[in-house]
Structure 1
Amino acid sequence: MKKIKIADGIHMLSMNVEDMLFEGIWEIANGVTLNSYIVQGEKTAIIDGVIGWDGIPETLYKNLEEINVHPKDIDYLIVNHMEPDHSGWISNFEKIKDDFTIVCTEKAAKLVTSFYGKDKIQVVKEGDTLDLGNGKVLSFHPVPNVHWPDTMYSYEHSTKTLFSCDMYGAFGKMGDHHFDDEMTPEEEEFFEKEGIRYYSNVMTTFTPMLRKAIEKSKEFEINTIAPGHGPLYRGNPEKIMNDYTRFSNYAEGAGKNEITILWGSMYGMTGKAIAFAEEILKREGVKYNKLEMPLESESEMVATVFKSAGIIIAAPTYEYKLFPPVAAALDEIGRKKITGKAAFRFGSYGWSGGAEKELAEILERNRMKWDMVPSVEFEGSPKAGDFEKIEAGILELIGKMKDKIVE
């Protein structure tokens, strides 16, 4: 656990977590930080109390003492969001002190009671304030469905610090540099990738609501954005707002200047066409990613498709339907509401087709509105005429994606 001073009277306690599935689903190959914040006036508040994944660690006392705080001196627990990675230590904290007040939205209050049986709750609404003394004043601003309906921002007025909870977060462990203005170019690139993975895995279903939260952020005068996961932004807080705006555009069809090949092949027939497609993409100078399903993790699959302006779906017919691992991947992409992508599919079939019908069903069921180039299907191994059609399809896809590129 690390202790970082953010501003006068405000500290962050941060720890790296590995070897877990985020939300019980998402693989986080590079870990994630859990950030908690202490705000000290005459009274003390802790925001997003995530200190210790399994509750209060033995090191908590020592860490708090080093910033002149004793756990029994904490008067308020500010719950910006009730997901257990932000609130799961409430029952453990109660063993140390049982007369603290939980501050949260009305929707969060219902969860506090049902999750932890606590009833000493101060419900806040838009613009309500909490004066901690010594100039420290917190105000509260609901941002529903980021990404649960209970979520809110907390804003400290004297230091102009926005505690944004899951908003503006990123996967990825932190090293020695916790602020944006300390990052090396390599660290900036790392958190660009991990920010995309975080947004696509956790947030993208709620993109319309996140856009509203971005606009609400702009109402504040901000010196520092302090999220619940990942780096803090004090050098250029507007950059992470702009990044999240860009990510929201990726969710609706925009993307980087690259194509992702989402593929699977039973006996190598479709695989032959994939090798040909790669030659065309190399010739055209188009960056591409290859995701073989089911070997690729779902987390990486969603993130890579999410950030790409163009998608090639390469999969055969299997038992009159689309090759199941690719069908399952597309269904998950649809559940995440990743819409508007430019895409092209090719694949083989044996005694009968059927993959194309299921693809259309997946796109329609999930209202994906993908801009599809007409598919190419071939019986058995692809022939010369099939390769010509595949090349034409790829070139049409490259043309379609040009208007969608947002770097």
Structure 2
Amino acid sequence: MAMDWKAAQVTDGMVKVPGSWLHLYYYEALNILFRFENALRLFVYVVLKDSLGKDWDSASIGGAGTIRSETKKRIAQANDHGYVGEVVTSPMLFLSSGDLTTIMLHESYWKHFAPYFRAKQGVIQTKLAEINTVRNSLAHFRPIRQDDVELIKQTTKHVLLEVQACLGRISGIRNVVPTNSDREWYKQIKPIGNPHFATNIFSSPDEKWIRIRVTQRCTVLRNHMYSDRDYLTSRVTTLRTAQVVKHFEKIRDACIFISDGHTSSEVRGDAPIVQRSINIVFSEPTLTAKVIDISQSLKDMALQVEQETELVKQDNLARGELIEAKEVSASLQKAASFGNEYWVVDTRKLGTDLSEIDSVEYWGAMGDYGTDYVTEAEKYPWMPASISDEDVPF
């Protein structure tokens, strides 16, 4: 008799699970542990990059192995079966919860992690061991109890209290740095810009983290409005995020992460107005210490964007190291209620494919989840696909 693997059904927004599936608390445990482990990965990377700089992956994970040496082996092994699952390249995604625990509790690194925990090292070690016990039972398909779900709920809250706050602050940096700031990095960086390039600077509430937003004003190279005047296509310049990450080594080595920011767009007259941004996040002490190198790199970037924009304007088929031309389109929509018209601009082709960049400093398009990063993030850095969909209720 053939095995009948029954599938869940979605009807009218409701999910119906076959009775032969595992108890629901197994899925609840999986969700908690998946989010816990990936939040911990992110947190461990942030602390190591902030503390050890570009040599963050030289951290030991036990024995003679380091993050760099051990994950290199694991990535090679995963590539042997690259046709299975999503393709990921970040070394952080190849560290287990046991590895992460070893790193945090290591005598050489605990001093960097201790400020984020409201308990002594021994207590944190016990809490992590409890979580890992349930995690390993689930990972090796051993049965778990419903009480185990309540245990990991409470224990993850205890462990991740300050970790959650850290990730919320670093993913939601939006306080504008005042124009009268006396910080040297503000004086050096804020004036950088030209007609195609602008910088704005934001800080976290505790001023521990600084976000530099680089905005590129896209130049329209070619524009065509169709005869019905309800659809247009345009070719515009766009900043190649992958090349920014690749070529500006001093920024990459000093920052915590680089992400694609918001793309704003509208139609005025017969042409679109489009602006793209990328975000570069630093810890404030690192930005202070390396402001000369970072500001000079940003000046070089601004000048290169200006020069290459002029190049592409003269030859629409040309491509610079940082600037290239891509297509956008816009369609005229009519609001059903008031008869108003508005344009919807499709800028998806301007985005960056995560597979283009294998640098751990590139985090893709980051969402702002504020204080609920651990429990609500739909997508994690280094992952090419979302992990949840809030539009499908359970």
> Which of the five TM-score ranges fits, normalised by the shorter chain?
under 0.3
Question: Greater helix percent: which structure?
Answer: 2
What TM-score comes out, normalization by structure 2 length? Answer: 0.25
**Structure with the larger RCO, 1 or 2 (CA within 8 Å, 6+ apart):** 2
